[in-house]
Structure formats: C-alpha cells, structure tokens
Amino acid sequence: GLSGSLKLARNCPLQSATRCQSTSGQSTLSQEKKDFIASGPGLEDFIREHAYPAQPEHLRRKKGERQRLRLPPWLHVDIPVGDNYAGVKRSLRKLKLNTVCEEARCPNIGECWGGGKEGTATATIMLLGDTCTRGCRFCSVKTARAPPPPDPNEPQNTAEAITQWGV
C-alpha cells in the first residue's frame, strides 16, 4: 500500500496530475497548478533529434553474422592522452598506488585524469591495496574476503601523491 495521505487512482498516469486524488476523493492541486502542469513542457521538448547521431541499422548481430558490431556513437570515448593524464599515471606507478578508476576499468578515466575542460586532473586512490572486501555485483574492482596485507609504505606514498598533485 501507499503511505501518507496521497493515493493514486486506479488509472492514474503519473504525468496527469488531474487524476491523482487524496484519500478523500478530492484533488489536492489547485486549478491554477493543474493548468500550469498541463501547459508545461512535454517529453518531446527534452529529446532533440540532433542529440543522438544516426543509429546503425541494427545494434545486435543477426543469426549467422560474424562481423563484430561497433559501439553506438554515444558510447565512444577518446583514448586517454595528454600531459595531465601521463603525469597522474606516472606518479601512481612510481608510488605504487591503486585507483578506483583503473581497478574498476572506468571508461571516463581519460577525462578525469586528463583534467577535462577545466584542466584539473582527479583520481580516486584506493586505500589498503587494490582489492575491495565488499563485492558489489555491478563493480569490476577485484574482491576478496581476506585481501592481501596492505603495503606498509602506502600512507607515506598517498601523502606524497597528494602533495605532488597540490591537493
């Protein structure tokens, strides 16, 4: 059941405020609010044809087709390059630090480490090694109930990285 004093009528589409009723059967919205909602933008105002480039004819392989399908254009990311990206990567390797970005195989790593539009590079350092003890199913970070022992130099290396990056 629904909690609170607002119930939805049986055929209440969420976008139609005129069919939603309170428990007493009367609408809780004033006529002015109903008119405002009815004259507001629709879904088509938020979806633009130019927002997504032309789609390939099909996004799945047909039976017997061997050619590899390409990713749709909205899933393409640039290969990470640049001075900021290289500097962060070099620093992490030198200090033997792990990041969520790398361990989770984040496709946006180039944007974060490269600094994006503002030029400020970011990286999320994993403390206590490269292994997580949680095991969330949506995440690709390596997991273990009993992770390997932490690097005794990790606190010093983390502090050094923070100092180098000017955080």
Please compute the mean of the pLDDT values over residues 71-85 and round it to a whole number.
82
Tokens representing 102 are 């790398």
Which whole number is the average pLDDT over 89-102? 95
Nearest to 122, CA basis, from 135, 131, 112, 132: 112
In percent, how much of the chain has pLDDT > 70?
Answer: 77
**Which residue pairs, CB below 8 angstroms and at least 24 apart, start in 155-164?**
157/95, 157/96, 157/97, 158/95, 158/97, 158/125, 158/127, 160/95, 161/91, 161/92, 161/95, 161/97, 161/125, 164/91
Residue 6 region by backbone torsions, left for phi larger than 0, else alpha for psi between -120 and 50, else beta: beta
Q: What is the pLDDT of residues 20-51, one digit of tens each?
A: 444 556 778 899 988 888 888 877 777 765 55
Contact 114, 85 (CB under 8 A): yes
**What is this structure's pTM?**
0.57
CA distance 86 to 88: 6
More confident residue, 12 or 109: 109
Q: Is the pLDDT of residue 12 over 70?
A: no
Whether 62 has a pLDDT exceeding 70, the answer reads yes
